[in-house]
Chains A and B, each alone.
Chain A
Amino acid sequence: NAGVMQNPRHLVRRRGQEARLRCSPMKGHSHVYWYRQLPEEGLKFMVYLQKENIIDESGMPKERFSAEFPKEGPSILRIQQVVRGDSAAYFCASSPRGGRERGSYNEQFFGPGTRLTVL
């Protein structure tokens, strides 16, 4: 069973371009979380999605950022008109179901991350 896949692993964009980051969850997992890690900092939650639904987007910047998790295919984190401050590592995690379902925690399995560099 392959782990969480993210691509590309490294992405370079010039200011003003768009960045698309993809995340394929583990087989059988229907919950996806995106986190951002700025240099020398811990990870910060961005968004939590279930198939075709956004559950919690409280960590998403109000502008330029969007995320989706369609019925078929990977989850996509899209950043429009990138700026230098968007340079970071973006991690995706998946779990088989939400932690509160069935009263137990479901571990989030992390992908290797996409390192975005904005020139």
Chain B
Amino acid sequence: AQSVTQLDSHVSVSEGTPVLLRCNYSSSYSPSLFWYVQHPNKGLQLLLKYTSAATLVKGINGFEAEFKKSETSFHLTKPSAHMSDAAEYFCVVRGNTDKLIFGTGTRLQVFP
């Protein structure tokens, strides 16, 4: 069975500093992994996806993630945080029949 674990429920950074949101996955086969962002009272937006091509995946708004099979990790990073990045971030793995399996989320706060 597939699952993801987000290691931090809250992350706080100062504007202009790097962002690291951690995610570990469990999968019995080569996984498809995603990061989604949810702004308050909004729907979800896909940031980036890994589907067994390049292990370093670039997404929108300057975010990127690296798939590391040896560590079963798919951490999300951004070199410099903006105030507009404050939101809830979900690490997601695709399950059988294409349903998405979500982590519990990491709330990112960005301080001026």
Contact = CB atoms under 8 A, between A and B. Distances in A.
Interface stretch (A14-22, A62-70, A71-79, A107-115): A107-115
Interface string B48-62: 010100000000000
A85 interface: no
Contact of A105 (B32, B42, B105): B32
A110 B44 contact: yes
B97 A48 contact: yes
Given A91-B43, A91-B44, A113-B43, A45 B51 contact: no
Nearest to B99: A45
Contact of A110 (B43, B94, B101): B43
A8 B41 CA distance: 14
B16 to A, nearest CB: 29
A42 interface: yes
Given A59-B99, A91-B44, A99 B94 contact: yes
Given A42-B103, A42-B105, A44-B102, A107 B95 contact: no
Interface string B76-108: 000000000000001000110111111111000
